[in-house]
Structure 1
């Protein structure tokens, strides 16, 4: 007796078509991730805020993303990953259009936070591909290859976004400039609607609103503590009480999740030996790949003749720096199948984490010239590109079939939590120390940037150590 797999009509061409449409989605994602970075200083001027305060945009977006990713990933397992991809794209488009017409810091902050729904795109795409390669005998391999292609397209689109905004910032209004990524996301919605088939979810049950409420409260209290540190300084007793309170609230959350049949976050699955190092790596990796973006941009834009450090680059040249960095990200992503075959999937993750640690460590002594910056970013970029592609694929390979959406989504959720916490810490470290009449007013101290690079390097090194706990044969077919 033979069995059929109706989900896989003509696996080769079918998969090729799906990956092709998903590449379009990642192009829109790349535009979002690259477009704003060269013009953060211009956005700060537009909103009349200091450079360090721009970090709060990133912190707000990342914390909202961290909350919505497990919720949307769970919803994907329930109602279908393509349907949730459409929902998250619509939310992202709304946030992008708000940015284009935001009249104030508060409105821009709201739009930026809503736009963070795009972070669930790649995990959902990996889950779509992972499901459609079932029973091929090469599910893990095909998923890794497809993920590498998607991330490669993402990184190339980051270059396009960065170069476009850098070229247009001086020649058009901020409203027109910020409308272009909104248009790209709107087109992306249409592509998903017509290009990706709708398959029903494979999981049963409902949404764990108790868990969602508890984790929202824990993250909200923790972030409130970090905000109070920013406003009142590290000597504030209230700030540290809030930070500790946020961490303590994780305990009842874990207990509640273990009692629920269909939890929002399957803590027992995450606790397995093949999952927890991957999720911890995603958290630590988020500190650099997400939290350090704005500090790198503002450091490059800082005039060394005025402040005594920085690269003195304009938006156009920052776009070029980002382009070189993203090429290294694409190299890391595209070479993932080769490095995984040579070092094993586990070894490739460890090596990539070490490269990220080395790249950011190089920033500490070498940050005076653009050549040094390019070398540092290139080393970190190769490792980062590989991790972006490898983490969701590794999580999917180590998860049961009805939990692939959750597992891949959690890599982005933990990554965004790490980025949100890092962004808040970096905003504190980079807080301006200038005074009235001081030519450095509004600029961060160099010690703040050194702190940023040190934290990113140590975090990546800790990730490499954590990955040693993964079984050597994990993530294979």
Structure 2
């Protein structure tokens, strides 16, 4: 069956704005409970370890659902799946708003995690409906919306948590998700499903889900359970066995959840590998900078800011992503997405290394965050363009979902590694133990080093091959890797 030909919509601006707003809303859902972390045990009448599942469950459910939602987008239509994703976002928010115990809150947060497939679906849909000359910039903006939403959502959530009832956070998120659903219904056109007629790979979905849950549980909870504990090691072993079995199944089945042969193409494989390191690099700063801002000044390196003030100091980073995204799109049009990814990785590394000299003041932290966020914005816009220039039109949503999963895997690993660094490099003051200044500086060095590694990986990504009929895109916005004429 021939691949569908992209049909530009008459209102591309409205589509791009709607999908960027959807991604921003999904990101806000992820940061929503951050200001409540310290209060959750008291609010829900539970222990700190149980309350931590309120955050962990969203990560786990999103990791399992994003690849599934992406594949369903190729099978039944991306607009239909975007609308489907909005339902658990609304319902989950309402469940959380009514929650009075930890189990109900975990259920609500799990439902919110089911809706996180909006961003890869939206990026894949852009290829179907946006004219070629606007594609690079629109991909960059929608891809960066996760970072934008996270940076903007943190101070907003902190302000609401500080000055209003915490349930207002979830009622507000339910309203945002409902608005997203209405906008998608009214403004996003329906296009034929690229893989219509193929079957859904249920065994593959179950296998990938089990493997990811085992892996991410071990990564995210290993520090609490002990990295050498039987539970952690058992989960790592189970993840390895299940993922290997899943891979064997995916290669043999006719209509796989994720086409591993496509994923193994050097251009796709190296882009996904770079995504893991970029995800690590992005999340390292999100763990380090807020703590430096909020640590007491008596430590000699803390800046004594409140949660709200810390969020406001970091908000310009998210706004910078919005500014950088169209610039990244222009760079992609001129030099190709590979060049944009390399530039993003180098800017990200420069931000980390500059932060070593800037973290002595709130203004310095803000400047370092702006540089780091600029690098993330460039890189996040380039990776989907690289992926979509290398996969058939019938696999765009699934391929983008898998790339999103690789970024999430990077953030999960980054969280674990930075957590280990900060927990091992400590100082004691007034009977309390804090992460030391050396610990924070080491974490920043690690983030910068991994950003350089991602740039090195991006540098060896091969140029786009000539598109085979019905197999690879010829969109000028995603394909060119030709050197610019001097």
TM-superposed CA distance for 1:155, in Å, is 5.8
Post-superposition Cα deviations, 1:24-56, rounded to whole Å, max 9, x if no partner, equal 424433543565556655657756899999876
Match of 1:349 in 2: 341
* SS across alignment from 1:249: helix
Cα distance in structure 2, aligned partners of 1:103 and 1:434: 36
Match of 2:140 in 1: 148
- Picking from 14, 18, 27, the partner of 2:15 is 18
Q: TM-score, normalised by structure 2?
A: 0.83
Q: Which moved more, 1:246-255 or 1:419-428?
A: 419-428
Match of 2:474 in 1: none
Cα distance in structure 2, aligned partners of 1:249 and 1:159: 35
Residue correspondence of structure 1 range 155-166 to structure 2 within 5 A: 160-166=152-158
Match of 1:92 in 2: 89
8 Å CA contact 1:80, 1:199 repeated in 2: yes
Cα distance change, pair 289–38 in 1 and its aligned pair in 2 (3 A): farther
Post-superposition Cα deviations, 1:31-88, rounded to whole Å, max 9, x if no partner, equal 4356555665565775689999987654432232121111000000000000110111
Match of 1:221 in 2: 214
Match of 2:463 in 1: 472
Match of 2:255 in 1: 262
- Picking from 262, 274, 299, the partner of 1:281 is 274
Match of 1:201 in 2: 193
1:231 counterpart = 2:231: no
Q: Where does the alignment leave 5 or more consecutive residues of structure 2 unmatched?
A: 466-477, 481-486
Q: Which moved more, 1:173-182 or 1:68-77?
A: 173-182
- Picking from 394, 404, 416, the partner of 2:408 is 416
Q: Which runs of 4+ in 1 moved over 6 A?
A: 48-55, 432-437
8 Å CA contact 2:426, 2:439 repeated in 1: no
* SS across alignment from 2:336: helix
Cα distance change, pair 376–436 in 1 and its aligned pair in 2 (3 A): closer
Cα distance in structure 1, aligned partners of 2:100 and 2:429: 29
Cα distance in structure 2, aligned partners of 1:60 and 1:358: 33
Q: TM-score, normalised by structure 1?
A: 0.84
Post-superposition Cα deviations, 1:274-315, rounded to whole Å, max 9, x if no partner, equal 11111112222222334653554344222232x554322113
Cα distance change, pair 54–300 in 1 and its aligned pair in 2 (3 A): farther
Match of 1:460 in 2: 451
* SS across alignment from 2:163: coil
Q: Which moved more, 1:319-328 or 1:380-389?
A: 319-328
1:380 counterpart = 2:357: no
C-alpha RMSD of the superposition: 3.4
8 Å CA contact 1:55, 1:294 repeated in 2: no
8 Å CA contact 2:71, 2:398 repeated in 1: yes
Higher relative contact order (CA 8 A, sep 6+): 1
